[in-house]
Structure 1
């Protein structure tokens, strides 16, 4: 299976539960940013995500309440760099106690000091290590030498210790897809449990020259679509076809909700137009019809998985063929 069975069944139960209540919009994933502090200043990152002070962080209780309020079955702990968060052990264990599936999204530099040996492997915990290319490219994007080698060492060590380990790669304008194929080949040799390739999106506070326009995304993801036939990519086939320009979906901005030291970010993970103190204020304060329509100018070039994988899932009910493809993709490949 591409995903552990309990993740698949929990996601199905979550959808059935909301379907029985008549809900058409509900969170699938909570993007939890417990702090803005980071030990890197990567070239494609939003400024606020790596210039925070240690006090610019959420309390453990605020993090756990955000999970309770959103009800999302998956929690992606990001930031900033989450392995810097002082209460990380309590946060991960608190999420697991709530039967959430935790993706710890990290650059890998501190895993051996703050995760390995301190937080036990668990079938609800995935270590998700960011790699934007091979050594030269990744170190250039991270603006520091040695980051790639450390990340690769932490992948090896994580697998040795029994953690589920995946990787996350952002495709930028200058990304060489032949290099990405070489990266996929290397990661397969190290037996990673899955690889996510996603088109970069231009944060308002990030340098825009790195990012892809819609037509450039289509071109690069036609190659990624081919790679998905050889490597264990964890983006759904329908999403990759969407990224390659072969099909169209509305956005589902409500499917991935984001909680930060500033509050609930609206409308989505990428666009912080407004922050809300409570989840209820956020949920009721968004014009979801408007943001689903993608008519806002900031949405034109966006094809991020965080907004569209849920749209793929919603569309399955209208296509028995896609539903069968999804089942084969998840269970048999």
Structure 2
């Protein structure tokens, strides 16, 4: 099972509670970035393009734990950058686990052997290890030879010590459906508990701009993957809701809910989402109440045009699962539909043009006591 039953029950109860309170916007997963520094420079990543003095910043233990408490989401995804570079990561994770947050520690695994003794196995802790392909394919994705072998070695080590392991795979259009199936087969043979899969997001500052999917290509690609999976009778423990996977195959008409995965990093609360940096505010309440959410999302903003990424749409799918459990159960039992008409695509005619504000935001956020606020509040 890609998502533990304990987690399914807790998250389902949390959503029901929010619905009973008539809360229209609420977080499911806190995207916590305690640093931007990384020991890799992946060509498809737009997260590490900062000057050194910013890459050297860190959230303290109190700031990281405080963000989780302020936000209240039942799950915390610790990303970056590479979280294991943070000298206090063991303490951050321990404090979050103590509060019974479901923690997904995202890592490229290069430091896992050195750092593993900082952590203790827990049903609330999952190592989410990046694995974007087999052998040379993964090494090309991270732009460094030998990383695949080190990653596999780390997965085996972590498994042997009793930790729960998830692989996190970002797919680009230079991969084939056969490549994806081979990766999922390999991960299943390794005994990982879950597989998180997502199309790559077109970061505007990523070095490689040639291999991002369009929405139509994403749908066709995932239909091919699921068709091949069905043909061979394979079972994969995807750590995502069946309806999100159904969405990737073009069968669900969803809008993104960026507030479902709010981001807290070294600058503050990032608006509007983990993928798109258009400003910062000081508090979670400001993020939720003052962000002009309607200015973002596919059909609303050019930068969002091709996005189908899990941190934008998984929350939508999970809420739909809770609201319409029979629909979710049907997809889970019958599998993903891979033929026939797709759900209508979102019209892009009225989307506002992209604004390129990165340099201004970094300059503003780098001033002591200032908030890098821009984006929707200025442009909408």
- TM bracket (short chain): over 0.9
Distance in 1 between residues matched to 2:95 and 2:150, nearest whole Å: 28
How many residue pairs end up in the alignment?
Answer: 329
Q: What is the deviation of 1:227? A: 5.4
Q: Larger Rg: 1 or 2?
A: 2
Q: The residue matched to 2:166 in structure 1 has which SS? A: strand
219-228 or 132-141: which moved more?
Answer: 219-228
Q: What is the deviation of 1:289? A: 3.4
- Kindly report which structure 2 residues correspond to 1:190-209, keeping only aligned pairs within 5 A, or say none: 190-206=190-206, 207-209=208-210
Mapped contact 2:26–2:259 kept (Cα < 8 A): yes
Structure 2 residue runs without a partner (length 5+)? 335-380
Q: What is the deviation of 1:324? A: 2.7
Distance in 1 between residues matched to 2:9 and 2:325, nearest whole Å: 19
Mapped contact 2:65–2:95 kept (Cα < 8 A): yes
2:237 corresponds to 1:236 = no
Q: The residue matched to 1:102 in structure 2 has which SS? A: strand
Aligned twin of 1:166: 166
Q: What TM-score results when the alignment is normalised by the length of structure 2?
A: 0.82
Distance of aligned partners of 1:43 and 1:50 in 2 relative to their CA distance in 1, 3 Å threshold: farther
Q: The residue matched to 2:262 in structure 1 has which SS? A: strand
Aligned twin of 1:261: 266
2:56 corresponds to 1:55 = yes
- Kindly report which structure 2 residues correspond to 1:72-87, keeping only aligned pairs within 5 A, or say none: 72-87=73-88
Distance in 1 between residues matched to 2:69 and 2:194, nearest whole Å: 28
Mapped contact 2:36–2:47 kept (Cα < 8 A): no
Distance of aligned partners of 1:47 and 1:307 in 2 relative to their CA distance in 1, 3 Å threshold: closer
Distance of aligned partners of 1:187 and 1:327 in 2 relative to their CA distance in 1, 3 Å threshold: closer
Q: What is the deviation of 1:306? A: 0.9
Q: What is the deviation of 1:82? A: 0.2
Aligned twin of 1:297: 302
Aligned twin of 2:3: 3
Mapped contact 2:198–2:310 kept (Cα < 8 A): yes
31-40 or 212-221: which moved more?
Answer: 212-221
Distance in 2 between residues matched to 1:239 and 1:2, nearest whole Å: 13
Aligned twin of 2:366: none
Question: Which consecutive segments of 4 or more residues in structure 1 shift more than 4 A?
Answer: 49-54, 326-329
Aligned twin of 1:321: 326
171-180 or 315-324: which moved more?
Answer: 315-324
Distance of aligned partners of 1:123 and 1:227 in 2 relative to their CA distance in 1, 3 Å threshold: farther
Q: What is the deviation of 1:8? A: 1.1
Distance in 1 between residues matched to 2:51 and 2:197, nearest whole Å: 26
Q: What is the deviation of 1:323? A: 3.7
Q: What is the deviation of 1:321? A: 3.1
Q: What is the deviation of 1:16? A: 2.0
Question: What are the superposed Cα offsets for residues 38-59 of structure 1, whole Å, 9 maximum, x if unpaired?
Answer: 1000111115368655632211
Mapped contact 2:219–2:250 kept (Cα < 8 A): yes
Structure 1 residue runs without a partner (length 5+)? none
